[in-house]
């Protein structure tokens, strides 16, 4: 993936607290992550609460078939996250809060996400140039 601009190389921490399927916050997070990466920044996505389920392996690569549009492939959020990580392997880090993961039973996580204890949040915060807490659990 090519950068649009010269690399400013700042680190943005996006903390996704919002529950999927409640609002468009996960979509906004994906858009912000992609835009920041294209602009040459580093991004850390930290998911908490039910947002830890976005990357579940059990989601598979695609959503269930749309009974009204059988042939269309609808990628799962797990695949979208996987694709984004693959596009920016050196600039995007996807972290799943381990406490929330156990608390919500979302333990079937892929190898390319980092499982971090909740107490490590401060470290990621300190390592970031900017952070944005998105939504509530």
Partner 1 sequence: MGGTGDPRYRALAIIERAHRGAVEAQFTGPLYLARGLGAQLDGPIAVVLRGVAVTLAVAGGHASALHLGDRSFDTLPDPASDIRALLDRDGQVYVITQDCALLAVPIDRMVDGVVPIDAGLLPDLVECSALVWFL
Partner 2 sequence: MITRLGAVSTFGGTPGEPWEGLSALTAPGPRYLLIESRSPMESPDVGAFADLAAGLADRGHPVDVVLVQNAVLMARAGAAGPLPALVERTGVTVHADDHSLVTRGADCADLIADVRLCNAAGLVELLLTSGCTPIWH
Site for partner 1 contains 61 (CB under 8 A): no
Structure tokens at 98: 């381990």
- Rounded to a whole number of angstroms, the minimum distance from the CB of residue 86 to partner 1 is 7
Question: DSSP readout, 50-116?
Answer: GGGGGG-GGG-SBPPPBTTBTT---B-HHHHHHHHHHHSTTTEEEEEEHHHHHHHT-----TTSEEE
* Contact letters for partner 1, residues 76-115 (x by CB under 8 A): -x--x--xx-xxx---------------------------
Phi-psi region of 36 (alpha: psi -120 to 50; beta: other; left: phi over 0): alpha
Element (H, E) at 127: helix 121-127
97 binds, among partner 2, partner 1, none (CB under 5 to 8 A by kind): none
Three-state SS at 134:
strand
Query: Tokens 């972290």 map to which residue?
Result: 95
- Find which of partner 1, partner 2, none residue 73 binds, CB within 5 to 8 Å per kind: partner 1
Stretch that binds partner 2, among 5-13, 65-73, 84-92, 93-101 (CB under 8 A): 5-13
Torsions phi, psi of 105, nearest 5?
A: 75, 20
58 contacts partner 1 (rule: CB under 8 A): no
136 binds partner 1 (CB under 8 A): no
d(CA 1, CA 4): 10
Site of interaction with partner 1 (CB under 8 A):
1, 20-24, 26-27, 30-31, 34, 37, 54, 63, 66-69, 72-75, 77, 80, 83-84, 86-88
Site of interaction with partner 2 (CB under 8 A):
8, 10, 12, 23-25, 28, 31-32, 34-36, 38-39, 41, 129-135
């Amino acid at each position: 993936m090519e950068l649009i601009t010269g690399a400013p190389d700042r680190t943005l921490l996006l903390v996704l607290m919002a529950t999927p399927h409640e609002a468009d916050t996960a979509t906004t997070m994906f858009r912000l992550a992609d835009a920041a990466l294209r602009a040459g920044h580093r991004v850390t996505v930290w998911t908490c609460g039910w947002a830890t389920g976005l990357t579940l392996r059990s989601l598979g690569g695609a959503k269930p078939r749309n009974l009204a549009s059988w042939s269309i492939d609808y990628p799962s959020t797990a695949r979208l996250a996987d694709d984004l990580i693959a596009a920016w392997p050196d600039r995007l880090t996807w972290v799943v809060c381990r406490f929330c993961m156990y608390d919500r039973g979302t333990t079937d996580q892929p190898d390319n996400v980092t499982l971090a204890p909740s107490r490590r949040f401060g470290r990621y915060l300190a390592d970031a140039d900017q952070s944005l807490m998105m939504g509530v659990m």
